[in-house]
């Protein structure tokens, strides 16, 4: 599997300005705390601005009163410096503490927004996107975003305040020396700006490739059985290495160009030091400035360049923030499912009559999957849907559950069009037992109660007995309180399927959808599953996607699909007598017999 999306995709941040506006909008609810934090950062910077001047005055006083140095005055000035340092440190800690709280809350809220967004996305989104990429946005990108936010809000406020304050004090000390610094420093800003712009695309590439890498890790981890059984280990390693190298290169380039800003700024800073020392020495000799002011000015030059350097070094963090923000807001801006109709129809007492009215549907334009599909299912009927791979069997179920809506035509349940019902109401009418069994980490009891939270333990046990899995559960170390592992590898595939059938029985829905999954179980377990299916569908309108045609002989209606159309329909015996496509499918499965 190659990373075509990366190879052909645009790695540059697409809309930095728009992304930044979205970021500002997302932190609006925390504006009071952020403003307080910024005020504290500014106060901390202002408090620390006066210490170099006081230290310079102490040096001048010692120089001018030597050998009878005025230690009393110098001591008083030293106490003032210490107090200013302490106040600055306390203010700085307070702003960092407030931003830490904001960052933690922002992280919580953003993850909740993503989870909420996931519940509103159409199934088509999950068909088109990999799990690992979405996971990366929810973890890595949010971590980058919140960490960068907590660092940069205070740092930039501190740097700007320091820069402006230092410029004012430098001009008060010496205009000629200030002009030297003011000419050299803007040059470094221009150069660093060019470097930052060049580095931008590599930060976007880094975050995108990281999402692909996460998807690959998740795929390789969950697919180890398939990888090993096909001796695909080396190819999987090579594929992973290709993505990993791509990530390493993007990371290296982004860090190289962002880190380049610091040494470039440092070079200009040293040039400023040299010029100040030479010109300052001449001014001291001419007695145009005191030696203490030169000492203070050199410190202010350092402080003047420091915020420039910090802003320059912040470019990498800001680029990471923008790249992460763009990926997060791209996800949050994904189109959601169409809203449910208002008002919506509800079915008070479900009979189970289902009718498809001239359904046409395609996942991709100009590639129809279902064409002119119409059928009426009477209440309580067991309907089997059969056909070769790609015939449209699963698509019919997706349409029935409103995971997708038809391009044209409509579906009715007891005469009510499903488009006029809430999606949750439509899905609540069906219980689903899928081929891919899904059990979550928790106890057996919690898994069985998943479809109906108010079910009693006795009801759960009755459902387990009816689905032939009660004795299996009772044999587990803690019975119904036994924990099922994340991949539920402490129970067999057949037992998983029986548990999912019991779960559907606990939910007790009026209609059922079954995707038969008996191909990977032994004959005895297959018979247990079939018996459970019979109990589950008894008296209910049910749709069964049939893989083994021997299991659907007793179906009331068999729909034979081919290329998105129903080519035959009828009972098992009727279809065999027609000697058509169904008979061909059936006989091919039992050719050995």
pLDDT digits (tens, 9 = 90+) for 328-372: 888 899 888 888 888 888 888 889 999 999 988 888 877 788 888
Instruction: Report which of 15, 40, 34, 194 is spatially closest to residue 100, judged by C-alpha positions.
Output: 34
How far is Cα 128 from Cα 123, in angstroms, rounded to an integer? 9
pLDDT band at 440; cut points 50, 70, 90: confident
pLDDT at 408: 92
pLDDT at 13: 62
- Computed over every residue of the chain, the mean pLDDT equals 82
Tokens representing residue 122 in the block: 């159409």
pLDDT at 9: 37
How far is Cα 581 from Cα 562, in angstroms, rounded to an integer? 9
Per-residue pLDDT tens digits for 517-531: 555 566 677 777 778
Percentage of the residues of the chain whose pLDDT score is greater than 70: 91
Tokens representing residue 492 in the block: 């067999």
pLDDT at 11: 45
pLDDT band at 2; cut points 50, 70, 90: very low
- Length of the chain equals 593
Question: Is the pLDDT reported for residue 86 higher than 90?
Answer: yes
Residue 434's SS3 state is coil
Domains and CATH numbers, the chain: 20-332 (1.20.1560.10), 354-589 (3.40.50.300)
Q: Which long-range contacts (CB under 8 A, 24 or more apart) does 253-257 make?
A: 253/199, 253/202, 254/199, 254/202, 254/203, 254/205, 254/206, 254/316, 254/319, 254/320, 255/316, 257/195, 257/196, 257/198, 257/199, 257/202
Strands in 565-570's sheet, in edge-to-edge order, are 430-433, 511-515, 541-545, 382-386, 557-562, 565-570
pLDDT at 485: 67
Per-residue pLDDT tens digits for 460-497: 999 888 888 898 889 888 889 988 865 556 677 778 88
Per-residue pLDDT tens digits for 161-213: 888 888 888 888 888 888 887 877 667 777 777 777 777 777 778 878 887 88
pLDDT at 6: 34
Question: Is the pLDDT reported for residue 565 higher than 80?
Answer: no
Q: Which long-range contacts (CB under 8 A, 24 or more apart) does 201-204 make?
A: 201/11, 201/12, 201/13, 202/11, 202/250, 202/253, 202/254, 202/257, 203/13, 203/254, 203/258, 203/316, 203/319, 203/320, 203/322, 203/323, 204/10, 204/11, 204/12, 204/13, 204/323, 204/326
Strand runs labelled E in 391-509: 408-413, 416-417, 430-433, 442-443, 483-484
Residue 512's SS3 state is strand
Region 260-289: mean pLDDT is 79
pLDDT at 4: 37
pLDDT at 517: 59
Helices (H) and strands (E) in the chain, counts: 22, 12
| Number of C-beta neighbours around residue 138 at 10 A | 19
């Amino acid at each position: 599997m190659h990373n075509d999306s990366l190879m052909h995709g645009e790695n540059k941040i697409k809309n930095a300005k728009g992304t930044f506006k979205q970021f500002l909008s997302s932190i609006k609810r925390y504006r009071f705390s952020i403003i307080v934090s910024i005020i504290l950062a500014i106060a901390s910077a202002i408090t620390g601005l006066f210490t170099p001047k006081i230290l310079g005055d102490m040096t001048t006083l010692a120089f001018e009163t030597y050998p009878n140095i005025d230690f009393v005055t110098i001591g008083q000035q030293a106490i003032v410096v210490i107090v200013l340092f302490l106040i600055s440190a306390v203010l700085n800690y307070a702003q960092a503490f407030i931003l830490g709280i904001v960052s933690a809350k922002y992280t919580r809220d953003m993850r909740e927004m993503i989870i909420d967004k996931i519940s509103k996305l159409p199934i088509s989104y999950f068909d088109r996107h990999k799990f690992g990429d979405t996971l990366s946005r929810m973890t890595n990108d949010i971590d980058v975003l919140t960490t960068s936010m907590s660092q940069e809000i205070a740092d930039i406020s501190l740097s700007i305040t320091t820069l402006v304050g230092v410029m004012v004090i430098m001009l008060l000390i010496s205009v000629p020396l200030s002009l030297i610094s003011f000419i050299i420093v803007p040059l470094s800003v221009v150069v660093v700006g060019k470097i930052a712009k060049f580095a931008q695309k590599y930060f976007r590439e880094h975050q995108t490739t990281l999402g692909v890498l996460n998807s690959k890790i998740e795929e390789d981890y969950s697919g180890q059985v398939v990888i090993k059984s096909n001796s695909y280990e080396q190819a999987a390693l090579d594929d992973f290495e290709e993505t990993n190298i791509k990530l390493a290169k993007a990371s290296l380039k982004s860090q190289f160009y962002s880190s380049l800003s610091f040494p470039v700024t440092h070079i200009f800073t040293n040039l400023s030091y040299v010029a100040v020392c030479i010109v300052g020495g001449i001014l001291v000799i001419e007695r145009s400035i005191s030696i203490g002011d030169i000492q203070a000015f050199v410190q202010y030059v350092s402080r003047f360049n420091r915020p420039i350097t910090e802003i320059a070094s912040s470019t990498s963090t800001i680029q990471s923030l923008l790249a992460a923000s763009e990926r997060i807001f791209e996800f949050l801006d994904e189109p959601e499912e169409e809203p449910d109709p208002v008002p919506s129809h509800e079915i008070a007492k479900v009979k189970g009559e289902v009718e498809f009215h001239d359904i046409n549907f395609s996942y991709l334009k100009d590639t129809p999957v279902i064409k002119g599909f119409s059928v009426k299912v009477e209440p309580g009927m067991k309907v089997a849907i059969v056909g070769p791979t790609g015939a449209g069997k699963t698509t019919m179920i997706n349409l029935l559950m409103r995971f997708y809506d038809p391009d044209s035509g409509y579906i009715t349940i007891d005469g009510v069009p499903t488009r006029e019902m809430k999606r949750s109401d439509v899905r609540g009418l069906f219980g689903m037992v899928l081929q891919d069994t899904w059990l979550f980490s928790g106890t057996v009891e919690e898994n069985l109660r998943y479809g109906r939270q108010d079910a009693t333990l006795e009801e759960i046990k009755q459902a387990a007995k009816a689905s032939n899995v009660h004795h299996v559960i009772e044999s587990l170390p803690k019975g119904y309180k036994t924990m099922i592992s994340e991949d539920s590898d402490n129970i067999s595939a057949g037992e998983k399927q029986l548990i999912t059938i019991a779960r559907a029985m606990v939910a007790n829905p009026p209609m059922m959808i079954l995707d038969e999954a008996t191909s990977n179980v032994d004959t005895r377990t297959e018979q247990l599953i079939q018996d459970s299916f019979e109990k589950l569908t008894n008296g209910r309108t049910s749709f069964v996607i049939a893989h083994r045609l021997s299991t659907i002989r007793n179906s009331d209606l068999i729909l034979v699909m081919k290329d998105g159309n129903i080519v035959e329909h009828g009972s098992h015996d009727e279809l065999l007598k027609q000697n058509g496509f169904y008979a061909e499918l059936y006989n091919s499965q039992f050719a050995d017999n």
